[in-house]
Structure 1
Amino acid sequence: MNTTKNYIFTSERLGFRNWISEDVEEMAQVNSNPNVMEFFPATPTFEQTKAFVERMQKQFSDKKYCYFAVDILQSGTFIGFIGLSDKDFESDFTPCVDIGWRLSEEHWYKGYATEGAKACLKYGFEKLNLEKIISTTPKINLKSEEVMKKIGMTKVKNFDHPLLLEDNRLKDCLLYEIINPG
């Protein structure tokens, strides 16, 4: 467990922070679960998880947002990530800022993804003055689409994800967005 908690912001039950090196092992455990990674083309290796954490640390340093490491406030337990990240793959809606989440399976169905995503939208709109935030998911990922709806996002379109064109199961994706209400 992390002993020093430097939360950038919190929600009712969750703390959002930049990544620390001790998170790599715990995130690698989340990433190794085939149920967590069901709607991704592959399970990341430990080295890929480490590189992801380093990218998030750099992005936070540069932009003051990332897919934040998330802890349960009451216990300090790391549960995965929820946050904002740049997307720049080839499409008609990039570059853009994406909201996403990946939580350990034992923390599913507790409302954490929805609660955390709402807090990240608030941070993105009120603190960072972002104009628009998008989210994408394979069409078959009904759980993530449900979170998108619960946090007030609107479906824009279906699209073939350029990074998933070789994966017939995952390439048909949904694009949702939400505009800064302020």
Structure 2
Amino acid sequence: MNLILETERLILRPLELSDVDGFFIMNNNPNVNFYLRNPIKSKIEAKLYIQKIINEYQKNSIARFAVILKETDKLIGFSGLKFRNTLENNHINFYDLGYRFSEEHWHKGFASESSLAWLDYGFNTMKLSTIHACALSDNLGSNKVLKKIGFEFTNQYVANNSIHNWYKIDNKN
């Protein structure tokens, strides 16, 4: 996959197996994986997760991308659109926006900055009509980001015995 997006401070590029060390370091933090359904607990799991994402690039032409901080050229998280062909909140075959960042890069606007780049790409290049997102209801940070960048809360639903907030944003073009 050759797609690379840039923002003022970030480079968004496909994840590679060579990202496994940085990816594992990010995920090997209980605060980062606190809200995850399936936390990554080893380098082997990190490598398998990255390979799963690489397979999604090949199958769907889109998936989560590495977020590289231009200033340091280091992986600080991942962000991107994902095609979901499994049932979630009574939806199937939709695109959702997701992100995850190393804790030392929280509260610096990187989630919003990368997400806005993905919304632009999704609406203006992919010509999507709607993009969805979800966050655990008690994940205040993620819920705040989604509202800040224009997502509309639509409902709550239960998945894996946890309450999730469901969001959508429509293409205004």
RMSD of aligned C-alpha atoms?
1.5
Q: Unpaired segments of 5 or more residues in structure 2?
A: none
How far is the alpha carbon of 1:55 from its aligned partner? 1.8
Code of the aligned partner of 1:178: I
TM-score by length of structure 1 reads 0.87
| 1:33-52 equivalence runs, <5 A | 33-45=29-41, 46-52=43-49
- 1:117 aligned residue (115, 118, 139): 115
How far is the alpha carbon of 1:41 from its aligned partner? 4.0
Secondary structure of 1:69's counterpart equals strand
- Any runs of at least 4 consecutive aligned residues in structure 1 with deviations exceeding 6 A, and if so which? none
How far is the alpha carbon of 1:110 from its aligned partner? 0.6
Secondary structure of 1:176's counterpart equals strand
CA distance in 1, matches of 2:60, 2:172: 21
Partner of 1:53: 50
Partner of 2:61: 64
Secondary structure of 1:24's counterpart equals helix
Asked if structure 2 preserves the Cα contact closer than 8 Å seen for 1:7 and 1:15, the reply is no
Partner of 1:173: 164
Q: Unpaired segments of 5 or more residues in structure 1?
A: 1-5, 166-170
CA distance in 1, matches of 2:67, 2:80: 9
Partner of 1:77: 74
What per-residue deviation string (whole Å, max 9, x for no partner) do you get for residues 144-179 of structure 1? 000000110000100112xx13xxxxx111000111
Partner of 2:10: 14
Asked if structure 2 preserves the Cα contact closer than 8 Å seen for 1:153 and 1:178, the reply is yes
How far is the alpha carbon of 1:73 from its aligned partner? 1.5
CA distance in 1, matches of 2:109, 2:121: 18
How far is the alpha carbon of 1:133 from its aligned partner? 0.8
- 2:124 aligned residue (123, 126, 145): 126
CA distance in 2, matches of 1:42, 1:17: 23
Secondary structure of 1:22's counterpart equals helix
Secondary structure of 1:117's counterpart equals helix
Count, aligned residues: 170
Code of the aligned partner of 1:160: V
Partner of 1:142: 140
Asked if structure 1 preserves the Cα contact closer than 8 Å seen for 2:97 and 2:133, the reply is yes
CA distance in 1, matches of 2:8, 2:62: 20
Asked if structure 1 preserves the Cα contact closer than 8 Å seen for 2:60 and 2:83, the reply is no
CA distance in 1, matches of 2:44, 2:83: 21
Asked if structure 1 preserves the Cα contact closer than 8 Å seen for 2:62 and 2:83, the reply is no
